[in-house]
Amino acid sequence: MARYAMVTDLTKCVGCQACTAACNSEWDVPPGHARTHVRPTGAVGKFPDLRSAFYVAQCNHCDDPPCVKPCPSGATFQADNGIVKVDRNLCIGCGFCVQACPYEARYLNPATQKVDKCDFCASRLERGRQPACVTTCTAHAKYFGDLEDSSGDIYRMVYTRGARRIESGEVKVGPNVYYLGRRGEPQLVAAMFPPRLPKLPAAGEWWSKVVKPLALALVGATFAGQAVAFFTQLRKGEGQFDE
Amino acid sequence: MPHGLSPGGVSRRDWFRATAATAAATSAATAATPGQRAGKPALQVATNCEMCFWRCGALAKIQDGRVARIEGNPQHPLTLGRLCARGNAGHQTLYDPDRLKRPQLRTGARGEGRFQEVSWDQALDWFAARLTELKNKYGPESVAYLPHGASSGFFGTVMKAFGTPNSAEPAFAQCRGPREVGYALTFGRGVASPEPLDLANARAVVLIGSHIGENVFTSQVTQFSEGLARGAKLIVVDPRFSTAAAKADHWLPIRPGTDIALLLAWINVILSEELEDKEYLAKYAQGLDDLRAHVKPFTPEWASAETELPAGLIRDSARMMAAAKPAVVVHPGRHVTWYGDDTQRSRAMAILTALLGAWGRQGGILLPTTIKRGSFKTPPFPESKRGRADGAGTTYPLASEELGVSNGLIEATLTAKPYPIKGWVVYGQNVLESIPQRERTLSAIRLLDLLVVVDILPVEQTLYADLILPEATYLERYDAPHIVETAARPFISVRQPAVPPMYDSRPGWWIAKAMAARLGLEAWLPWKNPDEHLAKLIEPMGISLGELKARGAVAFEGRPTIEQRIEADGPLFPTESGKIELSSKLLKEIGHDAIPVYRPPADPPPGWFRLLYGRAPVHSFARTENNALLNGLMSENTVWMNDHSARDLGLAAGQRIVLQNADGNESLPISVQPTAAIRKDCVYMVHGFGQQAPGLHKANARGASDNALISRVAIDPIMGSTGMRVNFVRVKPEVQS
């Protein structure tokens, strides 16, 4: 079984956001949200000794994904190939996984009320295509493939060219998006955008975001069932609903 | 439809069927399949992009009759399947609810924005009647044409046939004109577009103000990035720590306006240390001794005082590029109308390129290869006895008579000299954002008897138009194909519709033909439909129309380096001397410096900043800010200010300020971005924002317009372009009420 990973070469990346636009278009991401972000570090240092880089951020499909456990409905899961997915049919939009992600890679889609995030364009992979961000990258800075294929680009970049993970002292969850950079760009990005500790839901949130909505949904379903029965009876001309 | 014309000369139903057949052929020709969207298999149409002028190869994926997605076309020989953010977002312009939908005639005062919708028949009859009136009253030259974009040639033909020589694009006098003239004076030919820079094979790249990365032409970024990955050295000259500067081996944060001093010092180092390509120069160049004598005083130490760059850095960077010769790209820039000495700065860059032996060499600047094209027999255009009104060829002796001097046309409109200009036909550009000195442009518009605007969106100038003609977007129309000779492999790429035109919009070619028909000028556009036009054009190319449409682009063999040239390619250096002219006899004859001379710029007074502007990768000019996807990525600009300067002024990040220029012009409110990434003597903003067009619901009044603050220009005396980096601004003091 494959272990999918991505490498972004930050020396090549020019921060043009073609990846973000391609992704937003591929996945109908609403304006103001993204499955892959480009975050500039801004100029760091003292004029004229400056450095800057772009953090091309997305779901890291971590070895130990902190988003899976907090999901109350089981919508978030990790496939055998390492891709962390959200089953939209199961997602209840509680947002626990959004809080839990150390990389801020998830968002709650306001249109669907479901959580959305990068899945390495799994449906494109099934058709033998590369992720949309990779094929469009103007700087040819993004690479995608199987980390277990020792003859592949990804393997070489990670194991011989020293592509790095963005981790912090506190957060080491085995991200599978790696970064190359000849000028210390990955280190600069890690310093400027350290992953934050996963935030687990408080007890109160369980009540307000899971139990209550679920209960309401159950009540609603019951009520809806009764209503259907009521109107069915009306149409049949059987008079009022029998209490 | 009037005159029995419809897109393609067939009914809309037939037309769509034909498009679908083409799409199916394309689908079979390329293995690609659509995005994640499930359901019916999508069709795809190979075309080229018009989100900017680079025209990258695109595949429009159609689902349920709509363009659902645009991806790069891997068969395009230059862009190889990659698209920038704008290219990926193109269908959001197609589906922009703010689009111009029907022809409109003005009913209110100019600028008031009151219009009446009319049919195409009414609109075109009205247009032809007004044009004929102007011709009878003032002569055909009284109508001027101000175009930009892929369909501009169709309208240009109509205007020439009508009898006016007055056509001017801001692409010349507000953009790359000085470069074309400066390089043509040196090498006998201009750089042209797309620039044939062999960035992927360069061993050193020199950027002078060019901000690759923030300025995105897809293939240029790809090749730049490939070159750097292969170890090319990078030297970036910019008052701002640009995206490219962050990748540079040497960043030279130059005092704005002193580039010629730096270039002369670089030339001084190369010649005094004998680092030039001697063999190349001996064979191909003239004027080396004059050049050597000329630059003798301009040492790095001398230049250091002017440029505020360390002499050691000037010396080191000169040695770095010389070590890589001849595989050096000294990027000629694109928008180069900065300080009014721009032709001479371009000359200095061309001379530097020559010293490095990089013109016509692998890893340098490549030579074009001609593609033979077929043409219809058409009558000669009527000749104007009165000549051009914009000064091209007269006041501005070396201005292009093909591209014209747009500011010269505005001047002629304002002064009625050499003769009255009473009508403008504007196509595919917004003159209030693309040409500086807005007030002059507006004054000129008020003097017009006729302003016709052909556009896809209600940009600001449409408020002043007498007649608005809604064009179909590039995804709904055929255009003249993109024939590129300035690429290692020259190619032709096709623009064809992915979906039929929405609303009552029409393709540019259709509008031009309908205009011609109304004016009795059909003989100059003697084809029935775009297929016939295209088939004629490609006749000598040895390719079939079906192949071209299915693949989207076809490449030919190129001979881009001196070593590969054959006799049929013509002279290597088509200058008067047949050699590279390091010293220009022609410039001397017309009263200008034969070799560039540095003249120091004025500095901003204390409390003032020089206004610099540039591009963002997700927008093109002032044309894409209303695109839903791109607006979501960047909805307004900020003003970059040195962090120390901002602190001295008590300004915090994100604070809204109003900028004021020396003439009292004010910007719309804009957020401050304090940063160490810019010098203290200048501020910077991205161009294209701060539009004043209420019909653009996402873009209107978002951010600030640099153009609103460019009320002064420095005219290049050689070719008439408007240097636009000569305006000083300050933060408007808050008025206590």
Could you read off the pLDDT of A24-67 as tens digits, one per residue?
Answer: 999 999 999 999 999 999 999 999 999 999 999 999 999 999 99
Residue B669 lies inside a defined structural domain of this protein: yes
The contacts of residue B383 (CB under 8 Å, 6+ apart) are none
Residue of A nearest to B211 (CA): A14
Residue B70 lies inside a defined structural domain of this protein: no
Mean pLDDT score, B58-80: 97
Range of the domain at A176: 4-192
More confident residue, B31 or B635: B635
**The pLDDT of residue B17:** 38
Q: Are A214 and A180 contained in the same domain?
A: no
Residue B701 lies inside a defined structural domain of this protein: yes
For chain B, the farthest-separated pair of C-alpha atoms sits apart, in whole angstroms, at 76
What Cα–Cα distance (Å) separates residue A9 from each residue in B332, B443, B713? 27, 51, 41
Number of domains in chain B: 2
> pLDDT class for B41, splitting at 50, 70, 90?
low
Q: Are A184 and A241 contained in the same domain?
A: no
Reported as half-sphere exposure (CB side, CA atoms, 13 A), residue B475 has a value of 27
> Within an 8 Å CB–CB cutoff, is residue B614 touching chain A?
no
User: Does the predicted interface ipTM exceed a cut of 0.90?
Assistant: yes
Q: Are B578 and B652 contained in the same domain?
A: no
* Distance of alpha carbon A61 from alpha carbon A11, whole angstroms: 23
Helix (H, G, I), strand (E, B) or coil at A56: strand
Q: Are A67 and A108 contained in the same domain?
A: yes
> What tens digit of pLDDT does each residue of B175-198 get?
999 999 999 999 999 999 999 999
* Phi and psi angles of residue B103, each rounded to the nearest 5 degrees, phi first: -60, 145
| Interface contact flag, A16 B229, Cβ < 8 Å | no
**The pLDDT of residue A206:** 77
Chain A CB contacts of B642 below 8 Å: 47
Residue A197 lies inside a defined structural domain of this protein: no
Q: Which one of A26, A53, A140 has the shortest CB-CB distance to B35?
A: A26
Mean pLDDT score, B118-128: 98
Q: Are B188 and B305 contained in the same domain?
A: yes
* Distance of alpha carbon A53 from alpha carbon A40, whole angstroms: 6
> What tens digit of pLDDT does each residue of B142-161 get?
999 999 998 999 999 999 99
Helices (H), B539-673: 545-551, 585-589, 628-633, 643-648
**The pLDDT of residue A226:** 62
Contacting A residues, span 106-135, partner chain B, CB-CB under 8 Å: 121, 123-124, 127, 129, 132, 135
DSSP code of residue B419: S
Q: Which one of B228, B247, B633 has the shortest CB-CB distance to A20?
A: B633
Contact predicate B202/B323, CB 8 Å: no
Q: Are B577 and B665 contained in the same domain?
A: no
Helix axes B120-138, B508-519, angle to 10 degrees: 50
Distance from CA of B285 to the nearest CA of A (A): 36
| Interface contact flag, B677 A129, Cβ < 8 Å | no
Q: Where are the beta strands (DSSP E) in B585-706?
A: 609-614, 638-642, 656-657, 659-661, 670-675, 682-686
For chain A, the farthest-separated pair of C-alpha atoms sits apart, in whole angstroms, at 86
pLDDT at B172 over 70: yes
pLDDT at B115 over 80: yes
| Interface contact flag, B82 A137, Cβ < 8 Å | yes
pLDDT at B3 over 80: no
Q: Are B249 and B361 contained in the same domain?
A: yes
DSSP string, B462-530: GGG-SEEEEBPPGGG-----EEE-SSSS-EEE----SSPPPTT-B-HHHHHHHHHHHHT-GGGS--SSH
| Interface contact flag, B69 A48, Cβ < 8 Å | no
Instruction: Check which CATH number belongs to the domain holding B683 and give it.
Output: 2.40.40.20
pLDDT at B404 over 70: yes
Burial (Cβ within 10 Å: 0-12, 13-18, ≥19) of residue B10: middle
> Within an 8 Å CB–CB cutoff, is residue B617 touching chain A?
yes
Mean pLDDT score, B96-124: 97
Residue B259 lies inside a defined structural domain of this protein: yes
Q: Which one of B36, B69, B85 has the shortest CB-CB distance to A20?
A: B85
Strand partners, B574: none
Structure tokens at A9: 């070469």
Residue A32 lies inside a defined structural domain of this protein: yes
Residue B702 lies inside a defined structural domain of this protein: yes
Structure tokens at A150: 């020792």
Q: Are A160 and A237 contained in the same domain?
A: no
**The pLDDT of residue A200:** 81
Q: What is the pTM of this model?
A: 0.93
| Interface contact flag, B618 A121, Cβ < 8 Å | no
Q: Where are the beta strands (DSSP E) in B677-734?
A: 682-686, 714-715, 722-723, 728-731
Q: Are B579 and B658 contained in the same domain?
A: no
Residue of B nearest to A18 (CA): B85
Q: Are A212 and A182 contained in the same domain?
A: no
C-alpha of B674 from chain center:
30
**CB crowding A84-94: b at 16 or more within 10 Å, else e:** bbbeeeebbbb
Chain B CB contacts of A21 below 8 Å: 84-86, 88-89, 618, 629-630, 633
Q: Are B279 and B343 contained in the same domain?
A: yes
The contacts of residue B73 (CB under 8 Å, 6+ apart) are B30, B46, B56, B57, B58, B59, B79, B81, B552, B553
Contacting B residues, span 233-262, partner chain A, CB-CB under 8 Å: 241, 243-247, 251, 253
> Within an 8 Å CB–CB cutoff, is residue A52 touching chain B?
yes
Residue B184 lies inside a defined structural domain of this protein: yes
> Within an 8 Å CB–CB cutoff, is residue B312 touching chain A?
no
Q: Are A110 and A141 contained in the same domain?
A: yes
Strand partners, B240: B678
Reported as half-sphere exposure (CB side, CA atoms, 13 A), residue B545 has a value of 11
What does chain A come to in residues?
243
Contact predicate B447/B420, CB 8 Å: no
Structure tokens at A165: 């993970």
Q: Are B579 and B642 contained in the same domain?
A: no
Contact predicate A36/A20, CB 8 Å: yes
**Average model confidence (pLDDT) for chain B?**
94
Among candidate residues B563, B699, B722, the one with its CA nearest the CA of residue B178: B722
Instruction: Check which CATH number belongs to the domain holding A151 and give it.
Output: 3.30.70.20
Q: Are A21 and A135 contained in the same domain?
A: yes
Task: Report the Cα–Cα distance between both ends of chain B, in Å, rounded.
Answer: 60
> Within an 8 Å CB–CB cutoff, is residue B655 touching chain A?
no
* Distance of alpha carbon A100 from alpha carbon B262, whole angstroms: 53
Strand partners, B553: B493
The contacts of residue B603 (CB under 8 Å, 6+ apart) are B681
* Distance of alpha carbon B330 from alpha carbon B353, whole angstroms: 6
Residue keyed to tokens 């607006």: B631
More confident residue, B38 or B289: B289
Q: Are A149 and A229 contained in the same domain?
A: no
Q: Are B613 and B579 contained in the same domain?
A: no
| Interface contact flag, B633 A136, Cβ < 8 Å | no
According to DSSP, the β-strands at A44-46 and B482-484 are unpaired
For the CA atoms of B42, B45, B696, B116, the dihedral, rounded to the nearest 10 degrees, stands at: -110
Q: Which of A149, A167, A192 is the last residue of a domain?
A: A192
* Phi and psi angles of residue B410, each rounded to the nearest 5 degrees, phi first: -65, -45
Q: Are A94 and A76 contained in the same domain?
A: yes
- Residue B605, preceding peptide bond in cis (omega within 30° of 0): no
Residue of A nearest to B231 (CA): A182
| Interface contact flag, B84 A21, Cβ < 8 Å | yes
Structure tokens at B350: 């061309």
Mutate to test the interface with B, among A138, A157, A183 (most CBs of B within 10 A): A138
Reported as half-sphere exposure (CB side, CA atoms, 13 A), residue B465 has a value of 29
**The pLDDT of residue A213:** 73
**The pLDDT of residue A201:** 80
Q: Are B187 and B302 contained in the same domain?
A: yes
Q: Are A87 and A184 contained in the same domain?
A: yes
Count of CB atoms situated within 10 Å of the CB of B143:
26
The stretches in chain A having pLDDT less than 50 are 237-243
* Distance of alpha carbon B737 from alpha carbon B734, whole angstroms: 9
Instruction: Check which CATH number belongs to the domain holding B250 and give it.
Output: 3.40.228.10
pLDDT at B293 over 90: yes
Distance from CA of A168 to the nearest CA of B (A): 24
Burial (Cβ within 10 Å: 0-12, 13-18, ≥19) of residue B542: exposed
* Distance of alpha carbon B222 from alpha carbon A8, whole angstroms: 14
Reported as half-sphere exposure (CB side, CA atoms, 13 A), residue A92 has a value of 19
**The pLDDT of residue A243:** 34
Q: Are A238 and A157 contained in the same domain?
A: no
Residue B350 lies inside a defined structural domain of this protein: yes
Q: Which helix (H) or strand (E) holds B129?
A: helix B120-138
Residue B421 lies inside a defined structural domain of this protein: no
Contacting A residues, span 159-198, partner chain B, CB-CB under 8 Å: 183
What Cα–Cα distance (Å) separates residue B490 from each residue in B57, B187, B207, B554? 14, 20, 25, 9
**The pLDDT of residue B32:** 34
**The pLDDT of residue A2:** 92
> Within an 8 Å CB–CB cutoff, is residue B36 touching chain A?
yes
**The pLDDT of residue B25:** 41
Contacting B residues, span 541-580, partner chain A, CB-CB under 8 Å: none
Chain B CB contacts of A51 below 8 Å: 246
The contacts of residue B81 (CB under 8 Å, 6+ apart) are A135, A136, B57, B71, B72, B73, B74, B75
**The pLDDT of residue B387:** 95
Q: Which of B583, B617, B643 is the last residue of a domain?
A: B583
Range of the domain at B679: 609-716
Q: Are B712 and B579 contained in the same domain?
A: no
| Interface contact flag, A183 B82, Cβ < 8 Å | no
Strand partners, B611: B683
> What tens digit of pLDDT does each residue of B563-620 get?
999 999 999 999 999 999 999 999 999 999 999 999 999 999 999 999 999 999 999 9
Q: Are A186 and A207 contained in the same domain?
A: no
* Distance of alpha carbon A136 from alpha carbon B587, whole angstroms: 45
> What tens digit of pLDDT does each residue of B441-464 get?
999 999 999 999 999 999 999 999
Chain A CB contacts of B35 below 8 Å: 25-26, 124, 132
Backbone CA torsion sign across B180, B183, B189, B195: negative
Q: Where are the beta strands (DSSP E) in chain A?
A: 4-9, 37-40, 44-46, 49-51, 54-57, 76-78, 84-86, 107-109, 114-116, 142-146, 164-165, 177-180
| Interface contact flag, B87 A9, Cβ < 8 Å | no
Distance from CA of B482 to the nearest CA of A (A): 20
> Within an 8 Å CB–CB cutoff, is residue B39 touching chain A?
no
Number of domains in chain A: 2
